[in-house]
Amino acid sequence: MKAVLTIIGEDKVGIIARVSGVLAECTVNILDINQTVMREYFTMIMLVDLKKMEISIEELQQKFSIVENEMQLSIRVQREDIFKRMHEI
């Protein structure tokens, strides 16, 4: 199964390191990344492969809650199929 992560917040050192660290801990493979900084705002979308992950998406989101609080970010994890349906025109 694949998922889409969206990360938004003020730009600061260590965002990519923290997010990719959580993914590595959970055996999640990063397939694609699109990241930009608009003025002081950091935005990133990641496509990840959850095949080898041994926890639920809800548990992964809980792990990201810690990063959200520490770094004042918004991090959302959605299954790819749900993300696609939500963004259809």
Asked whether residue 62 is assigned to any structural domain, the reply reads yes
Asked whether residue 87 is assigned to any structural domain, the reply reads no
Q: How far is CA 21 from CA 27, 82, 87, in A?
A: 10, 25, 28
Asked whether residue 11 is assigned to any structural domain, the reply reads yes
pLDDT tens column, 6-63: 999 999 999 999 999 999 999 999 999 999 999 999 999 999 999 999 999 999 999 9
Q: What is the pTM of this model?
A: 0.86
Segment 55-73 shows an average pLDDT of 97
Q: What angle do CA 65, 70, 71 make, to 5 degrees?
A: 100
In a 13 Å sphere around the CA of 67, the CA atoms on its Cβ side amount to: 23
The CATH number given to whatever domain includes residue 69 is: 3.30.70.260
Alpha helices in the chain (DSSP H): 15-25, 57-71, 80-86
pLDDT band at 88 (very low <50, low <70, confident <90, very high): low
